């Protein structure tokens, strides 16, 4: 081979290499994507809502009558037993008199004193009349026995004596009433606020209705109480329930006996429970975005061992996951791999390094995965997060 031929072959090879490099530069690059496998496994459809713990039986201890409460020694969290004295009530202290009330009370005392003196004088006059009537009856009785006066005259004298005796007794009663009125108005002037000697028979002892703990103190310091005023809340910490406010459109899918999982309650372990009550009446609640929502209160019991959740108390927050459907060995893919294609659902499946669009039929969905009824086979790979840069036939590769 001469030099001319060698030179021509070298130029031709170099030109071909340049053409191939230019052609390769114009070829579309492989799109890096996240690929996930179509696989089988357990599948659950859940409704997730915030929940709060609540005492099943809350006992609010209140004042049975008006009185003066002594200081409460109990603190929130203290354990109490049934029948244990919680609060002691004394009789109400007397109210301090202002100058006007004191002057009025003093005038009332003077008036009562005068009324007593008048009643005493009336009683003396009635006593004199009664004494005279008794002596006159005695004389008439002797005359009647000897036949000197008529029977009618004797009976008239006897009647007058009875009237005088009755007037005397009435006057005595009036004196007693006037004396009691005087003592009553005098009591208004006395100051009983410094009296400390109170008999036990005048005290009211309020006891605990059940065994449990103190969850709330409405009043701790001593002071006057009115009838029915709440004093403290008592309950059993081991007797808790979970209340969740669920959208009414979701509540119709939850039945009594539905399994529920409680998560994010402060520890990593998931607690189990069961729905006890789905309340039949809903209520309107304004969401954080200002939207009116119809919600339903659902009450669930914790079925996990009490030792696992003994740190929970009344009013603690957690997340409730209500299981409305579950299945075994379900073919599924991440919900993020799905996109709408008209009225159907579709995915991009990886075939020989290219993305191929496929329509699929899906069943149940939760927030993370979707059940595949048809369109995919187990073990195939699909694009986890398809975007506008991927089309049917786009060259793809697994993102590193």
Q: What is the CATH number of the domain that holds 210?
A: 2.40.50.100
Q: Are residues 372 and 265 in the same domain?
A: yes
What mean pLDDT comes out for the span 341-366? 92
Q: Are residues 230 and 326 in the same domain?
A: no
Q: What is the pLDDT of residue 199?
A: 54
Q: Are residues 338 and 210 in the same domain?
A: no
Q: Are residues 220 and 348 in the same domain?
A: no
In a domain, 8, yes or no: no
pLDDT tens string 23-38: 655 556 678 889 999 9
What mean pLDDT comes out for the span 297-312? 92
Which of 197, 216, 235 delimits the end of a domain?
Answer: 235
Q: Are residues 255 and 375 in the same domain?
A: yes
Measured CA to CA in angstroms, residue 152 lies from 134, 142, 156, 172, 319 at distances of 17, 15, 6, 31, 103
Q: What is the pLDDT of residue 95?
A: 72
Query: Cβ distance 105 to 188 under 8 Å?
Result: yes
In a domain, 230, yes or no: yes
In a domain, 12, yes or no: no
What's the number of domains the chain is made of?
3
Measured CA to CA in angstroms, residue 339 lies from 95, 141, 389 at distances of 79, 128, 14
In a domain, 359, yes or no: yes
Q: Are residues 278 and 164 in the same domain?
A: no
In a domain, 9, yes or no: no
Q: What is the pLDDT of residue 152?
A: 85
Q: Which helix (H) or strand (E) holds 256?
A: none
Q: Are residues 317 and 301 in the same domain?
A: yes
CA atoms within 13 A on the CB side of 325: 11
What mean pLDDT comes out for the span 285-307? 92
Beta bridge partners of 262: 271, 320
In a domain, 105, yes or no: yes
Query: Per-residue confidence at 192, pLDDT binned at 50, 70, 90?
Result: low
Write phi, then psi, for 265 (nearest 5 degrees).
-105, 10
Q: Are residues 246 and 228 in the same domain?
A: no
pLDDT tens string 256-277: 999 999 999 999 899 999 999 9
Q: What is the CATH number of the domain that holds 327?
A: 2.40.30.170
In a domain, 259, yes or no: yes
Nearest one of 360, 367, 319 to 341, comparing CA atoms: 360
Q: How far apart are CA 247 and CA 295, in angstroms?
A: 4
Q: Are residues 71 and 119 in the same domain?
A: no
Q: Are residues 276 and 379 in the same domain?
A: yes
In a domain, 249, yes or no: yes
Write phi, then psi, for 239 (nearest 5 degrees).
-110, 75
Q: Are residues 145 and 220 in the same domain?
A: no
Q: Are residues 366 and 249 in the same domain?
A: yes
Q: Which domain holds residue 51?
A: 28-56+239-400
């Amino acid at each position: 081979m001469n030099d001319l031929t060698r030179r021509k072959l070298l130029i031709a090879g170099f030109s071909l290499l340049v053409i191939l490099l230019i052609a390769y530069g114009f070829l579309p690059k492989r799109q890096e994507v996240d690929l996930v496998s179509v696989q089988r496994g357990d599948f659950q459809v859940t409704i997730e809502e915030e929940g709060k713990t609540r005492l099943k039986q809350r006992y609010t201890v209140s004042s049975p009558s008006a009185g003066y409460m002594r200081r409460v020694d109990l603190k929130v969290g203290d354990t109490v037993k049934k029948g244990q004295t919680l609060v002691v009530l004394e009789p109400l202290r007397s109210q301090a008199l202002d100058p006007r009330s004191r002057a009025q009370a003093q005038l009332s005392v003077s008036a009562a004193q005068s009324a007593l003196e008048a009643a005493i004088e009336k009683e003396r006059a009635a006593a004199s009349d009664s004494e005279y009537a008794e002596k006159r009856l005695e004389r008439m009785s002797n005359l009647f026995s000897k036949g000197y006066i008529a029977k009618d005259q004797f009976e008239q004298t006897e009647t007058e004596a009875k009237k005088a005796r009755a007037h005397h007794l009435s006057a005595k009663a009036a004196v007693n009433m006037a004396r009691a009125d005087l003592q009553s108005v005098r009591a208004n002037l006395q100051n009983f606020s410094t009296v400390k000697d109170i008999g036990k028979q005048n005290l009211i002892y309020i006891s605990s209705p059940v065994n449990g703990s103190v969850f709330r103190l409405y009043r701790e310091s001593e002071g006057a109480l009115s009838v029915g005023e709440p004093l403290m809340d008592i309950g059993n910490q081991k007797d808790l329930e979970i209340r969740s406010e669920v959208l009414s459109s979701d509540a119709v899918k939850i039945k009594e006996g539905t399994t529920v999982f409680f998560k994010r309650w402060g520890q990593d372990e998931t607690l189990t429970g069961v729905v006890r009550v789905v309340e039949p009446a809903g209520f309107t609640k304004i969401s954080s975005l200002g939207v009116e929502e119809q919600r339903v209160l659902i009450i669930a019991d914790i079925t996990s061992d009490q030792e696992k959740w003994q740190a929970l108390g009344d009013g603690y927050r957690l997340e409730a996951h209500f299981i409305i459907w579950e299945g075994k060995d379900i073919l599924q893919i991440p919900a993020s791999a799905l996109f709408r294609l008209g009225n159907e659902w579709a995915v991009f499946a990886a075939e020989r390094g290219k993305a191929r669009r496929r329509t699929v039929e899906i069943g149940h969905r939760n927030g993370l995965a979707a059940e595949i009824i048809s369109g995919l086979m187990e073990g195939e790979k699909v694009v986890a997060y398809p975007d506008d840069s991927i089309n049917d036939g786009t060259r793809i590769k697994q993102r590193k």
